[in-house]
Structure 1
Amino acid sequence: MTVAMAEVTPGMHHTTAWDDPATRQAWRRTVLFRCAAVLGWLLGFPAWLFSVVMTPRWLLVLWLPLLCVGIWYALISMVAATSLPGIRRVLRVYPWQADIVDVRSKKNGGTQFVLPDPERPEKSVRLGYGALIGTGRHFWVRAVRSGQVTTAWFAGDPRYVGVVAAPGLRNLLWVAQPEAADARMSPRRRGVSPEARARARSAGARVG
């Protein structure tokens, strides 16, 4: 069932998304969930070690692959947790916007968010998520692939960084253009006003 856009109206009447109490509550829920996920995976390692010690050695052919999987998912959980300050920083700068995001499923299994360029609305800007192994069960991959979600709230500048949320302030996700987050790449300067660049810098993006 596709999420109805009628749910999104109340949170739009604020100068920044962070001014909305519901947004702050959604961010706290996100913090609790992601920290619990990291803790859960970390607690799995003592359980794994106990299982290795208490079972015959030949079962290592089973336990070693499980260890590799556990390490990978623990790393994914840690990366998700490290994005929490970035989410808050974006929400403190930009307001929520609705009816501007086209959410699509990509051929590589990820999700693509398509938005208009803030200064040239006739052009579109794309942000992606979920191309890594192990992200296939994440909400923004699973729900988009099934058609459950086809649109999203957005706060940010799609040319740099932003936060997407399912209508109703669910499943906050930090997204960014590679050059806005990777110090090895040249940040975008062309086609962006000084005011927009300053705002993106305040939100934590690399703008040059």
Structure 2
Amino acid sequence: MAGLLGWPGGWIALLGISTYTPNWVVWIFMPYFIYGFYRFFNQLTYFPWAFRMRRVLREYPWQLLEGVPSGLGKHPEARDDGIWFEFQNPANPKEKIPLVFIKHQRSYWWMKRLDGPRTKPHRRAQIEPLWFAGDPRFLSVVAAPGRGGKAPKRFHMLYQRPAFDSRCAPESWGATPADLEHASRAGARNLDALSQSPV
């Protein structure tokens, strides 16, 4: 919310200042005017995802996970390219399920901290332990530990593409009707085909 108000507020303030200064001063402020517009609209696009994350957090409790596998390249079992985390399947702990950062907005911070050849240990330590809420078969929220590890920060929504895209065939990964109901209440869509098929 601070960003949503701060960027246009700064834009208006500089515009007011520029009306009382020589014309050439406007050109000095021009980078901020352009970037301020970008950041303002970027903040607006975050709101729908914030509401989705809130819905997930109402349905699933936080878990603190240590040593969650992650990577910067394509996961061999993921349908999408991108940086990823790998979680245990709740129905089969021996099976691993990748969750890819499909939406790249706000993912740069995470990209610098996931396992990769150039990842520095102190950066990786900033996401240990990982805060996780959700079901990796459908959708979840991840967060980094806050100061002293007491509260989560840097919230990010991760999901399997079929949870929001009806063009993708969903996969159950052994989900029970109760699991599907939880995922539906958390905001996952397109679960009818799974609920009608044998588990």
TM-score range, shorter chain: 0.5 to 0.7
Q: 1:89 & 1:52 partners in 2: Cα distance?
A: 43
Report the CA distance shift for 1:49/1:126 in structure 2 as closer, same or farther (over 3 A): same
Is residue 128 of structure 1 aligned with residue 101 of structure 2?
yes
Rounded to whole Å, the distance in 2 between the matches of 1:45 and 1:54 is: 15
Q: Give me the TM-score of the superposition, normalised by structure 2.
A: 0.66
Q: Which residues of structure 1 form unaligned runs of 5+?
A: 1-34
Q: How many residues align?
A: 170
The percentage of counterpart residues that share the same residue type is 27
Counterpart CA distance in 2 for 1:186 and 1:52 is 51
| Counterpart position of 1:95 | 61
**Is 1:188 equivalent to 2:170 in the alignment?**
yes
Task: Give the one of 158, 165, 183 matched to 1:200.
Answer: 183
One-letter code of the match for 2:155? L
Unaligned runs of 5+ in 2: 74-81, 192-199
Which protein, 1 or 2, shows the higher relative CO under an 8 Å CA cutoff with sep ≥ 6?
1
Partner of 1:85: 51
2:155 is paired with a residue whose SS is strand
Is the 1:101–1:114 contact (alpha carbons within 8 Å) kept by the matching residues of 2? Answer: no
Query: Match of 1:118?
Result: 90
Distance 1:40 1:205, change over 3 A: same
CA distance in structure 2 between the partners assigned to 1:94 and 1:131 by the alignment: 24
For the residues of structure 1 that align with 2:171 and 2:102, how far apart are their CA atoms?
A: 23
What is the 5 A alignment of 1:98-109? 98-99=64-65, 102=68, 104=70, 106=72
1:12 is matched with none
Higher strand share: 2
Q: Which residue of 2 aligns with 1:154?
A: 132
| 2:14 corresponds to | 48
**SS of 2:161's equivalent?**
helix
Find the structure with the greater CA-based Rg: 2
